[in-house]
Chain A
Amino acid sequence: MTELCDLPGHELGRRFRSGEASALDAVESCLRRIEAVDGRVKAFLERTDDAARRAARAVDERFGRGEDLPPAAGIPLALKDVLATKGIPTTCGSKILRTYVPPYDCTPWARLREDGAILLGKTNCDEFAMGSSTENSAYFPTRNPWNPDTVPGGSSGGSAAAVAAGEAVWALGTDTGGSVRQPGALCGVVALKPTYGLISRYGLIAFASSLDHVGTFTRDVRDCAALLSVIAGKDPLDATSLSTERRDYTADLDGGLDGLRIGVVRDWLGEGVEPGVKAAVESSIDRLASLGAHIGEASLPHTDYALSAYYLIAPAECSSNLARYDGVRYGHRTADATDVVEMNMRTRGEGFGDEVKRRIILGTYSLSAGYYDAYYGQAQKVRTLVIRDFAQAYERFDLLLGPTSPTTAFRLGEKAEDPLAMYLSDIFTIPSDLAGNPAISVPCGLDEKGLPVGLQLMGRHLDEATVLRAAHAFEQDLGFSARPPLLEEASA
């Protein structure tokens, strides 16, 4: 039997309004699931059970009074632990922020809370969102619900796993190099990274400011559109947020694929891509064609260079953004330092993990005297070339298509010792972060190991509507209904 926690948010909303279920029922269902599986999945760093129950009762009271509440009302959700939540510990998966409790809410959560969404807790992630497996969390690794020996992807692995395992109905993550779409693909859920600036970054604890995006995890594309509708739109607290009105993205979902021009990035289906991934994506292309899309071949020739540029830009910005963790105002401080320099150095040496240190050193080096032009400056030029690639492709196509990740979920520890191999798992997601265009990952099948494969659809700047419409049509036709084996055990 399907439990409430396994339903999409729009179905829960229908039941809340018809009286078939209450928000409290939905929250209790998620909490039971968390109790049942999170010992193995380990998606959550912090849970807010009591506050969630209180919030659910408040929503139920308002439904009871016949109030017309927004679609997010009563939907249980989880937030990646890099999103600031007032009064609730926010650690970024790092020891340096183990004791940090923000005095304010990030804008996306503030809007969701305003609409009556219910926070279940904060999810695990790679430390400061740096990683592709959630193994870089200072606390513990998260497991993929589809196979607990494998990683959920990262860095938003906790959020992706929570939605996949029915521990939360919605979740937010962040995507700097693919950290929403890649775990979304590896965990078999719908994951959207919208246009840079569409969702406010206020309260998103910065890793690389010019690349950081808030993104969504949901069961289906309709929920994705509903969640986006709550959190998208201009925020006066973020100077890089775009001047867009809030709108209802669910309104245009049913337009179908007829006549849509989709460009397949053929280079992304070559060497280094697992056969299972390739097969699932190829059959998805046929399905899209059968649904009326015009399929052609597109090229993003600077993809390889994009990865290089990313690994210069992101560490450089990271080295500056993470300078504030110095043991003065909040967070960890080392014991017994005799002067402030020693205090800073030891605090940071103790507080940061391996990958974060590696990127701080890399970024500091590439910005230091004499290297700026050779590295950061050059990388920004490559960024221009990547943007031009997309612009040229969008002259011929409405959407671009490729795999989200070259592989399905890999085993824990498999790439942990080889940073470059780990970096390669983001090769197809990084270009859209550099260019800032919207991109979605939708489940498109399972590989031979029974692990989900993600299909990536990329659109023009601020053309989320087309991306969502195509993803919705694809999803409806595919009818992806496989569930992580873990859940069958949990309900058995």
Chain B
Amino acid sequence: MTEVEAVIGLECHVELSTRTKMFCGCPNEFGGDPNTRVCPVCLGHPGSLPVPNRQAIEYTMKIALALGSEIARSSLFHRKNYFYPDMPKNYQISQYDLPIGTGGHLDIDVGGETRRIRMNRVHLEEDTGKTIHAGTTGRIAEADYALEDYNRAGVPLVEVVSEPDVRSPEEARAYLVELRALLEALDVSDVRMEEGSLRCDANVSVRTVGAEELGTKVEVKNMNSIRSVERAVRYEVERQREALDRGQALVQETRHWDEGRGVTSPLRSKEYAFDYRYFPEPDLPPVEPDEEWIEKLRAELPELPAERRRRFVEEYGLEPAMARLVGGAGSWADFFEEAVRLGADPRPAANWMTGDLAALLREHDVDLRSSKVTPAHVAEITALVSDGTISTTGAKQALAAVFADGRGVREVVEDEGLAQISDTSALGAIVEQVVADNPGPVEQFRGGKEGVIGFLVGQVMKASKGAANPQEAQRLLRERLTADPQAG
């Protein structure tokens, strides 16, 4: 078996979260009744003309700046000509040889190691409408007809294209996580893959390790989550590796990822190679940002995820791995810092977020931003644990309750009796009862078996339904068993 490596380039499409579309004043919103967010411009009516949205241009420049790309001093829109019914003009206004951003890089962490993925370009274009292939089986090839909704047509779309520097499915995943965090920090997109505001195609090839030239490139499409990109890339790399092992030649093609079946399959091969007949869009003057404009945008850039994670390590004493977890997404990092601002001890707060809270979110398939748990809740939980009001167990229960209904933490602790019993008289009675109920272990402890104390503390906890303060329980037990050996 030849030693082969994967060579992967990622092409991400990012829908910008502007108020209006790229070239017209229609609202840029997800969903809506079909063909209700349209006008003569985005429906491609004869005589209508595009006028570029300044905000979309600035968002694109910010993405490019954040990736360290070179901002073109003169950038052009081109027309990409091809027929498809989801495209109202049968050309897409896009960018060709003069994109807004060129070059740059994105650093990703995989297995504790930092890898630098070089960027090829950052360009701006308009999105297409949406096609429904209608028919009995639901498969495109067997559809009877198609239906077109142009609400999405003309939504500003940034294409971020990497160089083929990604070497594994894990790196593909890490790249997407990092890019999403970056876009989230820039606040330029909703970055929701399930709604299509972040989409990703992968160019995958394999080659003998050490070889210079690239293998046959296959474009894989139709992945709708970061996980599905990772799976699709893994499948495709394996498929190509096996084909090479069997001595089969690979063909340059576009393959479709089938999420349900977990396989890629070829789209019907093209009768004609695409010939997009690019030419400069005559309806649009060039974009020529001056130094002042570029520097103004650079100054407006927020703290980017990588810097922020470094700061979390330095400022809050988080372990680097923990900083990556908390700082993996802008919304998490914001949540964390808000909790700290409200008084949370940083390290426990990070632990609670990435441990129990993350588990709850996963279990209920809820996004942090839409969950009922607030930074104030986390701050309160860490405070109550640290002053001994609740135990760790109690805190877990409190968090689950807050997650379910959003009540205040103190309210939950009170309502559900989660406060620890540290009061000597209340605890003393339980200790007495446990000593009385467990003569055997008591005898063993007195005989010198120190370890039995753990069992007895456990019995106290059980009898108190978790409300006892375990340290206090152990102190009382020791006092009781050593002070008066005859009493039991």
Contacts and interface: CB of A to CB of B under 8 A. Distances in A.
B283 A323 contact: no
Interface in B280-316: 282-285
Contacts, number: 101
Interface in B40-79: 40, 43-52, 79
B81 A367 contact: yes
Interface string A288-321: 0000000000000000000000000000110110
Contacts of A92: 46
B45 A326 contact: no
A208 B283 CA distance: 10
A202 B45 CA distance: 11
Contacts of A329: 43-45, 88
Contact of B282 (A82, A209, A323, A328): A209
B275 interface: yes
A238 B46 contact: no
A340 B40 contact: no
Nearest to B150: A329
A210 B282 contact: yes
A364 B277 contact: yes
Contacts of B46: 84, 90, 92, 97, 100, 102, 205-206, 324-325
B83 A203 contact: no
A240 B91 contact: no
A199 B278 CA distance: 27
B279 interface: yes
Contacts of A205: 46-47
Given A210-B282, A239-B52, A326-B83, A104 B45 contact: yes
A423 interface: no
Nearest to B85: A328
A421 interface: no
Contact of A320 (B49, B79, B85, B284): B79
Given A104-B40, A323-B91, A238 B49 contact: yes
Contact of B47 (A106, A208, A239, A340): A106
A68 B43 CA distance: 39
A344 interface: yes
Interface residues of B, number: 29
Given A323-B90, A324-B88, A201 B49 contact: yes
Interface residues of A, number: 45
Contacts of B91: 320, 323
Nearest to B80: A320
Contact of B278 (A102, A202, A326, A372): A372
A368 B278 contact: no
Nearest to B81: A320
Contacts of B279: 316-317, 320, 367, 372, 376
B134 to A, nearest CB: 13
**Which label, helix, strand, loop or mixed, suits the secondary structure of the B interface?**
loop
B44 A324 contact: yes
Interface string A190-230: 00000000000111111011100000000000000000000
Interface string A253-286: 0000000000000000000000000000000000
Interface in A49-76: none
Interface string B157-193: 0000000000000000000000000000000000000
B47 A330 contact: no
Contact of B83 (A202, A204, A240, A344): A344
A371 to B, nearest CB: 9
A239 B45 contact: no
Contacts of A325: 46
A201 B46 CA distance: 11
Contact of B284 (A239, A323, A376): A239
A106 B283 CA distance: 16
A239 B49 contact: yes
B89 interface: yes
Contacts of B338: none
B54 to A, nearest CB: 11
Contact of A368 (B45, B50, B277, B283): B277
Contacts of A319: 81, 277
A320 B50 CA distance: 15
B259 interface: no
